[in-house]
Amino acid sequence: MDSTLPPVGLGTMGIDEPEPIAAALEVGYRHLDTARIYGNEGVVGAGLAASDVDRAAVTVATKLWVDRLAGDDVGPAARESADRLGVDRLDLLYVHRPRGAYDPDATLPAMDRLVDAGVVDAVGVSNFEIDDLERARGVLDAPIAAHQTELHPLRYRPEILEHAREHGYSVVAYSPLAGGRVAEVDAVREVAERHGTTPEAVAIAWATAKEPVVAIPKASTERHLRANLAAADLELAPEDVAAIDAVEREEELYPE
């Protein structure tokens, strides 16, 4: 995969038809994120196949769920995901959570073998804590390409971003709109009013302004697809960012 992910990609959890996937590619998305547990890898693959966009231009990412993380399961599960997606390789493959069958000393070498075999271009992790990240860095031969984590105005952990900056990998922010709740956050709403835009646009701009964060909001209509993509171009003033940084939190939408 390209080592630089675009500022905004498409989160696909809950999308069960290929049309929004094809529409996203048509309006300019080049990063599609799915997961085995979403049950829609085939849908994402169908949308990709229906698009005229060059496959090589799109980062296709998926994740292995906790029941397929044993060392002997990783390879077959990854190949199953690639088959469902209709691709000959996975640009980015994540460990979805460091739980269940996850054993860093068995799971991660199996991920390395997929890179060596050309089945996977890059390895990512998801929902890791700092200790998990450090352990993974110590075991993997391949560098961590990305860490996917819940990040939005109600869930912001600077130490996660600092670790990524220190070690040179992307932070992929899922649920950047806080499950639709960003409009309820006073600071976000006030910044949106100052800029004449929506709280949703502000939440995405706030996230993507933070190095090295990219966001993957879900959208299924062309209007929302375009709005989310454009939000990364919204320039917030330092005081805007500081106001949202200071929001009292934390609210985790997807705990264990």
pLDDT digits (tens, 9 = 90+) for 61-84: 999 999 999 999 999 999 999 999
Q: Is pLDDT above 60 for 2? A: no
pLDDT digits (tens, 9 = 90+) for 128-162: 999 999 999 999 999 999 999 999 999 999 999 99
Q: Is pLDDT above 90 for 117? A: yes
Question: What is the predicted pLDDT for the residue at 4?
Answer: 84
Question: What is the predicted pLDDT for the residue at 1?
Answer: 59
Q: Is pLDDT above 60 for 173? A: yes
Architecture in CATH of 10-245: Alpha-Beta Barrel (3.20)
Question: What is the predicted pLDDT for the residue at 249?
Answer: 79
Q: Which residues are known to be catalytic? A: 38
Q: Is pLDDT above 90 for 105? A: yes
Between β-strands 31-33 and 59-64, what pairing exists: parallel, antiparallel or unpaired? parallel
Q: How confident is the model at residue 252 (pLDDT cuts 50, 70, 90)?
A: confident
What is the average pLDDT score of the chain? 97
Q: Is pLDDT above 70 for 97? A: yes
Q: Is pLDDT above 90 for 255? A: no
What global pTM score does this model have?
Answer: 0.97
Extents of the domains making up the chain: 10-245
Stretch 188-210: mean pLDDT: 98
